[in-house]
Amino acid sequence: MAKIKKIGILTSGGDAPGMNAAIRGVTRTAIFNGMQVVGIRHGYHGMIFGHFTRLKAHSVSDILARGGTILKTARSKEFMTAEGRKQAYDNLKKEGIDAVVVIGGDGSLTGARVFCDEYYDIPFIGIPGTIDNDIFGTDYTIGYDTAQNTVVDAVDKIRDTASSHNRLFFIEVMGRDAGFIALKTGIACGAEAILIPEVEGQVEGLKDYLEKGYKRKKSSNIIIVAEGEKSGGAFAIAEQVKEEFEEYSVRVSILGHIQRGGKPSAYDRVSASTLGYEAVQALLDDQKSVMVGFHNGEVDLVPFRKVIKLKKSVDPQQLEMADVLSI
């Protein structure tokens, strides 16, 4: 492959704390290796409409500790069309960009794969960036650690009220169709039950549990519900419980977008910096159409085709453990 002289970098899909650390990692590693760096603002939308900005080493000063993404992020309908991708390709060529690093979730990596299947001469490397941790082929995604800490902090506070008033709280957390955030934070907060999209029929089990819990006079109950949970979400389940268990004082709390923001944790800063650095190393090693992730603590390259085709699953043993620990 011809020597790469200019790298484009973008963030796409939902923002996640630590994306800036990855942008910094890519930018400085590329400059260190004699390349120029172009920030593509607003994700694929900016690629189509030419939102390019030159990044120097100092352009990424003081961003390591900031949440969100300095390049902005977006979802682009146009990139889903062949015409949109052609316009993006023409723009990259015009700008002299000969490789691209995409930081985003599974949708963004799918977009990268579709693009690379159509245009072979611009290698793409992916970095998993989403708080949801729902990307196959990597144990870690940027922002997941910070989001978990945010949830734990919020649930601990709600627990104070729940136990002071003997209340039953349903707390809905993010994760789209995946239950990773719910499961881990449920364990971390000692939730009495964790409802996730990956497991069916949990509401009946919850009702059994509540029956017994009330008999034992538990002073408070925290139920963590993943937003993609299949029986209608926290409000719908709370309504059912209210109807069947009048003795419980039920409340619902939807944590919402606070889970996306905030300063990245030390773990996210280090991991995202590492992925940024490794993405450029992968390009220097002539890699293309791969995602840089972590497997068992080691950096790993996974082809886009696998990342997109396969679904990451939650660990059923952890759910079992959470049940045992909540008796």
Decide: is 75 part of the binding site for ligand ATP (CB under 6 A).
yes
For residues 110-169, which are near ligand ATP according to CB under 6 A? Answer: 110-111, 114, 130, 132
The binder of ligand ATP chosen from 80, 254, 284, 299 (CB under 6 A):
80
CB 238 to ligand ATP: min, Å: 26
Q: Which x/- pattern, by CB under 6 A, does the window 174-203 give for ligand ATP? A: ------------------------------
Closer residue to ligand ATP in complex, CB, 46/213: 46
State phi, psi for 177 to the nearest 5 degrees.
-90, 10
For residues 23-62, which are near ligand ATP according to CB under 6 A? Answer: 44
Decide: is 104 part of the binding site for ligand ATP (CB under 6 A).
yes
Decide: is 106 part of the binding site for ligand ATP (CB under 6 A).
yes
CA neighbours within 13 Å on the CB side: how many for 140? Answer: 24
Q: Which residues contact 270 (CB under 8 A, 6 or more apart)?
A: none
Name the closest residue to ligand ATP (Cβ). 107
CB 133 to ligand ATP: min, Å: 10
CB atoms within 10 A of CB 6: 16
CB 19 to ligand ATP: min, Å: 10
Decide: is 79 part of the binding site for ligand ATP (CB under 6 A).
yes
Decide: is 87 part of the binding site for ligand ATP (CB under 6 A).
no
Distances (CA, A) of 193 to 80, 176, 189, 228: 39, 19, 11, 16
Q: DSSP class of residue 21?
A: H
Which amino acid does the sequence have at 72? K
- Which of 132, 134, 145, 268 is an active site residue? 132
Clarify whether 132 is annotated catalytic.
yes
Residue of 147, 191, 271, 139 lying closest to 279 (CA atoms) = 271
The binder of ligand ATP chosen from 25, 68, 105, 128 (CB under 6 A):
105
Residue of 140, 238, 225, 165 lying closest to 189 (CA atoms) = 225
State phi, psi for 295 to the nearest 5 degrees.
-130, 120
CB 256 to ligand ATP: min, Å: 15
Q: Which residue has the tokens 């599974």?
A: 106
- Cα 282 from Cα 298, distance rounded (Å): 14
State phi, psi for 128 to the nearest 5 degrees.
-70, 110
| Site of interaction with ligand ATP (CB under 6 A) | 12-14, 44, 75-76, 79-80, 104-108, 110-111, 114, 130, 132
Active site residues: 132
